[in-house]
């Protein structure tokens, strides 16, 4: 009788365990489908271990004997292990994702060959560069398909080399300070500075929220490097809809915000507009289909400092890859006039997100995972304006790191896009984005005594006399050359100077100033004197060709009026920029 009772109890316990396991699996799959990866991870652990407490603080898959590779492992359990790794990747938690991906790569690679790739990504995020390189190379050896995974693995190898070079830089002139996280939040990101007010987004469970970790916009006073108490922005929201990544028009009366939902694992995001009211902000209303294309997502709005354009990210048709940077022109009331893609100097086959425009320097900053960088999302900068952006450059270390660096803002009143900036990064976290304030102190100026190189300017940037305006507009005289440390023009310069002579003889009411310019190489005083002597020699040549002396003046500017950077954004030499700065100009006006 005792044996029979024990057998019945054993069967009941087994049935109960199986029943609980089925419930754990069903709950985990449901949360995964909804995009609630935090909850899904907890239930996948319970399902995998058969333990109500899951793994607790122990996240070593090798401690789970039941998952050793055997014929008894079901397809459902293999999927659960892979999805658990995926949960931690989506939660930006490489410490936990790395071990699970490795387990899948070693035991279930036939079912999930991409696991080795994500294992290598996790190693890179954990700063294990050598192991990550080995894992990426092993993945490429095992994975024969020429698809997005193999392309991404090859790019990751380039990223590792780039990162190692960046990490060797001297960053002693940078200060990186984390901002305090909002209490009870799991992530803080998307900073916006409006005078002394800091707006940012945080995922937090508010008392009246219907779901955990809902994104909301918060506001805090930020003065002299200290953030005050953060409070929810008075911005209405419907139900458990997420809000974040805001931008405010220059007049302070209109706010653009991303609002989104996640249903069955699919995010649906759109950009909304809210008007200022007495109590804060009015109910946000969605923008039209020009921005919020039907069936696609739009997010992360940024209004330019002149109020003329709205930059945003979207995965809509007509782009070059996944998420692209787009722009929309605005009328004086903030209404959308037209929209366009930022082009292939900005966008790639990967993802570009979180645009920010620094009006003072005319620079677009955005995050990309499709260009060579330090890993994950890097921040890139491109000069220009919507519709005409230059090729983007990686902003380098320490603005970027080997983790995800996304969202960027410059402190108001700052002219240099590299100084006094706020960024979002998970560089100091096991999982999630935090806010950082980065300051850069310009290095002391050291005079370098080098002989200036002969002046020239590429024909592609010439403004010819035939299209010159007559209102004090500076124009480059093309193909004017000087020998090193000399100021008399070489004979090869005469053809170009003779064109200017002919133009001035045609327009006898025009007066001209000749300006000499150098790059920043060399002693300041020496370069200014050299540029003045060269400008005078050009005037002397014009006089010798019959132009009246009273119509001509000259001035040497040295390196004080550059038309291009003498150094790149990371501080290295920029030969092309110095070539453009070594030039002779003329300014024409009527008297």
pLDDT at 166: 92
pLDDT at 446: 36
Average pLDDT over residues 141-158: 90
More confident: 190 or 52 = 190
| Interatomic CA distance for residues 558 and 577, integer angstroms | 15
pLDDT digits (tens, 9 = 90+) for 355-394: 999 999 999 999 999 999 998 899 999 999 999 999 999 9
Question: Looking at the predicted structure, is the pLDDT value of residue 19 above 60?
Answer: yes
Among 46-50, 133-137, 359-363, 468-472, where is mean pLDDT lowest? Answer: 468-472
pLDDT digits (tens, 9 = 90+) for 124-133: 988 899 999 9
Residue 358 tokens, joined? 């620094």
Burial class (CB in 10 A: 0-12, 13-18, 19+), 235: buried
Burial class (CB in 10 A: 0-12, 13-18, 19+), 183: exposed
| Interatomic CA distance for residues 578 and 564, integer angstroms | 7
Q: Find the largest Cα–Cα distance for the chain.
A: 127
Among 200-209, 406-415, 468-477, where is mean pLDDT lowest? Answer: 468-477
pLDDT at 71: 45
What integer best gives the mean pLDDT of the chain? 83
Question: Looking at the predicted structure, is the pLDDT value of residue 238 above 60?
Answer: yes
pLDDT at 450: 35
Question: Looking at the predicted structure, is the pLDDT value of residue 2 above 90?
Answer: no
| Interatomic CA distance for residues 164 and 402, integer angstroms | 10
pLDDT at 55: 52
Average pLDDT over residues 159-169: 91
pLDDT at 506: 81
Please enumerate in sequence order all residues whose Cβ is within 8 A of that of 298, keeping only pairs 6 or more positions apart, or say none: 258, 269, 270, 271, 287, 291, 292, 312, 313, 314, 316, 326
Q: Which domains does the chain have, with CATH numbers?
A: 19-167 (1.25.40.10), 174-440 (2.115.10.20), 459-590 (3.30.1330.60)
- Residue 167 near residue 427 (C-beta atoms within 8 A): no
| Interatomic CA distance for residues 581 and 575, integer angstroms | 10
Judge if the upstream peptide bond of residue 410 is cis by omega within 30 degrees of 0: no
Question: Looking at the predicted structure, is the pLDDT value of residue 471 above 90?
Answer: no
End-to-end CA distance of the chain: 120
pLDDT at 443: 52
pLDDT at 442: 63
Q: Which runs of E-coded beta strand occur in 207-303?
A: 214-223, 226-227, 231-232, 242-248, 254-263, 266-277, 280-281, 285-286, 298-303
- What dihedral do alpha carbons 382, 384, 386, 389 form, nearest 10°? -50
pLDDT at 18: 60
287 vs 315, 326, 335, 339, 386, CA distance in Å? 16, 14, 9, 12, 19
pLDDT digits (tens, 9 = 90+) for 210-221: 556 789 999 999
pLDDT digits (tens, 9 = 90+) for 299-314: 999 999 999 999 999 9
pLDDT at 394: 95
Question: Looking at the predicted structure, is the pLDDT value of residue 44 above 50?
Answer: yes
H/E stretch holding 196 reads none
Question: Looking at the predicted structure, is the pLDDT value of residue 117 above 50?
Answer: yes
Average pLDDT over residues 558-565: 80
Average pLDDT over residues 547-572: 80
Among 103-112, 293-302, 436-445, where is mean pLDDT lowest? Answer: 436-445
pLDDT at 570: 64
Question: Looking at the predicted structure, is the pLDDT value of residue 469 above 50?
Answer: no
More confident: 398 or 492 = 398
Average pLDDT over residues 540-545: 91
Read off the pLDDT band of 4 (50, 70, 90).
very low
Average pLDDT over residues 181-207: 87
pLDDT digits (tens, 9 = 90+) for 392-411: 999 999 999 989 999 999 99
- Residue 423 near residue 407 (C-beta atoms within 8 A): yes
Average pLDDT over residues 187-208: 87
DSSP readout, 483-535?
A: -TT--SBPGGGHHHHHHHHHHHHH-TTEEEEEEEE--S-S-HHHHHHHHHHHH
Average pLDDT over residues 500-528: 83
pLDDT at 445: 39
Read off the pLDDT band of 96 (50, 70, 90).
very high
Query: In this prediction, what percent of the chain has a pLDDT beyond 90?
Result: 49
Read off the pLDDT band of 589 (50, 70, 90).
low
Among 169-183, 477-491, 531-545, where is mean pLDDT lowest? Answer: 477-491
Average pLDDT over residues 563-580: 74
More confident: 414 or 116 = 116
More confident: 451 or 205 = 205
pLDDT at 220: 94
H/E stretch holding 382 reads strand 378-385
- Residue 269 near residue 324 (C-beta atoms within 8 A): no
Average pLDDT over residues 568-579: 72
The angle subtended at Cα 125 by Cα 343 and Cα 185, nearest 5°, is: 90
Among 12-16, 147-151, 167-171, 338-342, where is mean pLDDT lowest? Answer: 12-16
| Interatomic CA distance for residues 84 and 69, integer angstroms | 17
pLDDT at 333: 83
pTM of the model: 0.67
Average pLDDT over residues 34-45: 90
Residue with structure tokens 């330019």? 304
Question: Looking at the predicted structure, is the pLDDT value of residue 67 above 70?
Answer: no
Question: Looking at the predicted structure, is the pLDDT value of residue 244 above 90?
Answer: yes
pLDDT at 97: 95
Read off the pLDDT band of 9 (50, 70, 90).
very low
């Amino acid at each position: 009788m005792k044996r029979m009772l024990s057998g019945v109890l054993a069967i009941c316990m087994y049935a109960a365990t199986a029943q609980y396991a089925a419930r754990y699996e069903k709950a985990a799959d449901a949360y995964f489908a909804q995009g609630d990866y935090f909850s899904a991870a907890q239930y996948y652990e319970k399902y995998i271990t058969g333990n109500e407490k899951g793994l607790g603080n122990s996240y070593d898959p090798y401690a789970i004997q039941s998952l050793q590779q055997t014929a008894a492992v079901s397809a459902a359990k293999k999927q659960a292990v892979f999805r658990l790794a995926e949960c931690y990747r989506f939660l930006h938690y490489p410490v936990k994702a790395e071990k699970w991906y490795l387990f899948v790569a070693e035991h279930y690679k036939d079912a999930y060959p991409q696991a080795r790739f994500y294992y290598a990504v996790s190693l890179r995020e954990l700063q294990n560069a050598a192991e990550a390189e080995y894992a990426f190379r092993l993945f490429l050896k095992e994975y024969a398909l020429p698809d997005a995974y193999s392309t991404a693995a090859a790019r990751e190898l380039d990223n590792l080399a780039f990162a190692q070079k960046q990490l060797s830089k001297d960053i002693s002139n940078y200060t990186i300070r984390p901002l305090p996280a909002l209490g009870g939040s799991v992530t803080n990101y998307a900073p916006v500075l409006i005078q002394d007010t800091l707006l940012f987004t945080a995922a937090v469970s508010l008392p009246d929220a219907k779901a955990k970790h809902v994104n909301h916009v918060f506001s805090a006073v930020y003065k002299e490097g200290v953030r005050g108490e953060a409070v929810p922005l008075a911005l209405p929201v419907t139900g458990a809809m997420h809000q974040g990544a805001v931008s405010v028009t220059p007049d302070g009366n209109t706010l653009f915000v991303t609002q989104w939902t996640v249903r069955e694992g699919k995010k649906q995001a759109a950009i909304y507009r809210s008007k200022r009211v007495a109590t804060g902000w009015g109910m946000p209303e969605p923008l039209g289909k020009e921005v919020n294309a039907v069936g696609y997502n739009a997010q992360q709005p940024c209004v330019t400092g002149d109020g003329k354009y709205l930059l945003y990210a979207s995965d809509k048709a007509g782009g070059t890859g996944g998420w692209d940077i787009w722009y929309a022109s605005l009328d004086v009331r903030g209404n959308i006039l037209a929209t366009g893609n930022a082009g292939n100097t900005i966008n790639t086959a990967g993802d570009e997100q979180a645009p920010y425009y620094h009006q003072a320097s005319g620079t677009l900053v955005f995050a990309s995972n499709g260009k060579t960088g330090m890993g994950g999302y890097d921040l890139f900068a491109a000069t220009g304006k919507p519709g005409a952006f230059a090729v983007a450059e990686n902003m380098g270390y320490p603005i970027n790191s080997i983790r995800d660096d996304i969202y960027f803002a410059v402190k108001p009143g700052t002219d240099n896009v590299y100084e006094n900036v706020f960024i979002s990064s998970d560089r100091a976290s096991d999982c999630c984005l935090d806010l950082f304030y980065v300051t850069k102190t310009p290095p002391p100026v050291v005079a370098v005594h080098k002989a200036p190189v002969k002046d020239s300017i590429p024909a592609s940037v010439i403004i010819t006399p035939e299209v010159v305006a007559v209102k004090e507009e500076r124009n480059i005289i093309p193909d004017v050359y000087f020998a090193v440390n000399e100021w008399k023009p070489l004979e090869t310069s005469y053809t170009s100077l003779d064109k200017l002579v002919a133009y001035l003889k045609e327009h006898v009411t025009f007066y001209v100033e000749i300006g000499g310019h150098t790059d920043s190489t060399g002693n300041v005083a020496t370069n200014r004197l050299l540029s003045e002597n060269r400008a005078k020699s050009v005037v002397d040549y014009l006089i010798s060709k019959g132009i009246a002396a009273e119509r001509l003046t000259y001035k040497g500017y040295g390196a004080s009026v550059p038309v291009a950077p003498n150094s790149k954004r990371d501080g290295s030499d920029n030969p092309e920029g110095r070539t453009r700065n070594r030039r002779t100009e003329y300014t024409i006006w009527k008297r």
